[in-house]
Amino acid sequence: MTEVRRELNEIEYLNWCVAQPYNMVVAVEIRGEIDPAGLRLALDKAQVRHPLLAVNTELGPNGVPWFSSSGVGAIPLRVVAEASHESALRFAEKELTASFERDRAGPSRLPLIRVALFPPAGARETASLVLTVQHVIADGLSMVFLVRDLLHWLEQPDAALPVLDAPARAEDLLPPAVRRRVSTSPTRFQLVLALARLYSWLRQGLRFGARAPAPEKHVLHHRTWVLTREQTSALRARCRREGVSVHAALCTAFLPAFPAIHTPVSLRPFLARPVGEALGLYVGAAEVKLAYRDTLGFWRNARRFRHRLGRRLRDPFGVFRLFSKAVPVELVQQLGPLIVELASGGRPFGITNLGDLDAAGLGLGQGRLTIEAFFGAVMGIVDSSVVTTCTLGGRLRLHLLATETASCETAIRDDTEQAVRRLVAALDG
């Protein structure tokens, strides 16, 4: 197993500063028998192939955390017998708000990942696999690659997959042009934090010294929508004709209800060294604010969204003009929720597009084990709502994790229902 010991890079440090719980949870519904012993072997192989599955964090002398594999044990595996897929989803929901033990050196530590297997309750039932990782070691695409690798070893236990490299030093990841503009002082960050606080207070109409109203209690709800194969094919064809991506069309369908949409962005193509399919945190984000104009129709709005998103993606590392490891963790934890609140108008919403899981390069669940559903979500910084979308079996799936309040009841779920209807109606519009 590759030994890992290095300081976190800027991308990882930014996400480590969010504190806990800040987990990425993936729940996969699988048709086919999964032997727990075979899964144990597959997880052991995964720790060899993906070095960051065998690390935990510890604080360096300067307070900046390091990754270290010293004393880190095997990936914990829990088997929950005679449970339904709904039970697995409830378990995944709890995992979103569960913490990992981290930031201490010494022997006998667990990695920043744990797995639960829910074997099928009956001959015609599906198995469920729930993977929980601390977000600092993985992004959404990493989890797709990991599930693919696990299924491969479950079907071919003796198969070998090459060990994937992980940057040995934090400085190896950001391109030189980006590293030159990384801030070496927290001053700029402190100024932005002060301005964000002031703007937040002014928006709330509060006088200085007054307390903001207490936040409402939030509850989580799940719901899934699945387009037919014909609708999915029609959506792809229409997007090609209109000159927009499927992601732009998806986001446009939600704009009337959510005029600010958070989009995770893969940084893998822009890094200083290729990371390929290595598990790690190689993701940034684009916040797109755009008012939907009814008079323009759906597809002209989609082209507006595509253009606005393209502008946001011109500088995927722009955050590092402001942020660096010179910024104390306490300041990052103060600014994060403020930025999300101001960008979203108090209603944070994101769309995570995992893409086409049927693609030849992934080959996900095309053997004896087939994937019936793939759900992923992240919880952290604020109580946000997220739609995870992917194409599986030729059908576009949208899974909503809604963070509702007592006063809103089912507003987010209702708005998502309307967005899906708007998307389907646009296929013929």
- What pLDDT is recorded for position 253? 98
pLDDT category of residue 173 using cuts at 50, 70 and 90: confident
Is pLDDT above 70 for 374?
Answer: yes
- State what percent of residues in the chain have pLDDT above 90: 46
CA–CA separation, 39 vs 79, rounded Å?
10
Same domain, 152 and 219: no
- What pLDDT is recorded for position 212? 52
- What pLDDT is recorded for position 211? 53
Same domain, 227 and 137: no
Residue with tokens 């069309």: 249
CATH number of the domain enclosing 125: 3.30.559.10
- What pLDDT is recorded for position 307? 97
* 8 A C-beta contact, residue 271 and residue 139: no
pLDDT tens-digit profile of 86-99? 888 889 989 988 99
Same domain, 409 and 276: yes
- What pLDDT is recorded for position 81? 87
Same domain, 252 and 397: yes
- What pLDDT is recorded for position 376? 83
CA–CA separation, 247 vs 239, rounded Å?
9
Cα–Cα distances (Å) from 246 to 44, 137, 286, 345, 420, in that order, read 37, 28, 16, 25, 13
Q: Which residue has the higher pLDDT, 121 or 224?
A: 224
- What pLDDT is recorded for position 219? 75
Is pLDDT above 80 for 423?
Answer: yes
Q: Is residue 168 part of a domain?
A: no
Q: Is 48 exposed, middle or buried (0-12, 13-18, 19+ CB in 10 A)?
A: middle
Q: Is residue 89 part of a domain?
A: yes
- What pLDDT is recorded for position 346? 65
Range of the structural domain that residue 413 is part of? 215-352+380-426
Beta strands of 276-411 (E only): which ranges? 283-289, 349-356, 370-379, 385-392, 395-405
CA–CA separation, 311 vs 91, rounded Å?
39
Same domain, 222 and 337: yes
Most confident of 55-64, 163-172, 380-389: 55-64
pLDDT category of residue 174 using cuts at 50, 70 and 90: confident
Q: Is residue 263 part of a domain?
A: yes
CATH number of the domain enclosing 287: 3.30.559.30
Same domain, 264 and 333: yes
Average pLDDT over residues 105-121: 91
Domain boundary pick from 129, 158, 187: 158
Domain boundary pick from 121, 141, 158: 158
Q: Is residue 163 part of a domain?
A: no
CA angle 276, 278, 279 (to 5 degrees): 140
Is pLDDT above 60 for 215?
Answer: no
Average pLDDT over residues 220-249: 95
Paired sense of beta strands 77-79 and 283-289, if any: unpaired
CA–CA separation, 191 vs 160, rounded Å?
52
* 8 A C-beta contact, residue 385 and residue 351: no
Is pLDDT above 90 for 79?
Answer: yes
Average pLDDT over residues 403-428: 86
Same domain, 322 and 254: yes
- What pLDDT is recorded for position 391? 92
CA–CA separation, 338 vs 334, rounded Å?
7
* 8 A C-beta contact, residue 256 and residue 292: yes
Average pLDDT over residues 37-48: 96
C-beta neighbour count of 409 within 10 angstroms = 12
Is pLDDT above 80 for 358?
Answer: yes
pLDDT category of residue 249 using cuts at 50, 70 and 90: very high
Q: Is residue 172 part of a domain?
A: no
- What pLDDT is recorded for position 345? 64
* 8 A C-beta contact, residue 82 and residue 9: no
Same domain, 102 and 233: no
* 8 A C-beta contact, residue 287 and residue 312: yes
As for how many domains the chain has, the answer is 2
Return the amino acid letter for 275: V
Its sign, for the CA torsion 321, 325, 331, 332, is positive
Same domain, 150 and 296: no
- What pLDDT is recorded for position 168? 65
Q: Is residue 261 part of a domain?
A: yes
Same domain, 54 and 140: yes
Q: Which residue has the higher pLDDT, 197 or 216?
A: 197
Q: Is residue 15 part of a domain?
A: yes
- What pLDDT is recorded for position 230? 97
Q: Is residue 191 part of a domain?
A: no
The chain-wide mean pLDDT, for the chain, equals 86
Same domain, 270 and 413: yes
Same domain, 272 and 402: yes
Nearest to 305 by CA among 257, 351, 261: 261
pLDDT category of residue 20 using cuts at 50, 70 and 90: confident
Average pLDDT over residues 157-161: 88
pLDDT tens-digit profile of 274-314? 888 999 999 988 889 999 999 999 999 999 999 999 999 88
Domain boundary pick from 158, 182, 197: 158
- What pLDDT is recorded for position 40? 97
Q: Which residue has the higher pLDDT, 159 or 231?
A: 231
Reply yes or no: is the peptide bond before residue 21 cis, omega within 30 of 0: yes
Residues of 172-191 as b/e, b for ≥16 C-beta within 10 angstroms? ebbeeebeeebbeebeebee
